[in-house]
Amino acid sequence: MAQDLLNILEKALSEFGHRLRIKYGLGKDPSSDQIHRWHEQVKQLIRQGYSAEQAGESAASAVFVDFRTHVYASEAETISYLLDSLNRNGRND
């Protein structure tokens, strides 16, 4: 049962990483550690008064070394949508 839960969480993070790759033009999907660091920075910046989009962009440029190195067809997801998705998948740190 615990392994099933870990597999589900890993799949959710993988899918989320793919969405971050497209949103921020990354060359590859970010690791779960990078996703966690991005998420923490976004939350901190929002507490400091940044909008979700500004916070996401700023955190992405700080965390992902390949930020904006690629262009993909769909970069339409908002940071609010991405954050809500993380929260729904149990990443409420």
Structure confidence at residue 76 (pLDDT): 53
Structure confidence at residue 93 (pLDDT): 52
Instruction: Determine if the pTM surpasses 0.75.
Output: no
> Is the model's pLDDT at 74 over the cut of 70?
no
Tokens standing for residue 72: 């993909």
Q: What is the pLDDT of residues 46-59, one digit of tens each?
A: 999 999 999 999 99
Cα(71)–Cα(26) distance, integer angstroms: 8
Side-chain half-sphere CA neighbours of 28 within 13 A: 5
Which among 83, 46, 38 has a CA at the least distance from the CA of 62? 38
CB of 46 closer than 8 Å to CB of 36: no
> Is the model's pLDDT at 64 over the cut of 80?
yes
> Is the model's pLDDT at 92 over the cut of 60?
no
Cα(83)–Cα(89) distance, integer angstroms: 10
Confidence of residue 84 (pLDDT cuts 50, 70, 90): confident
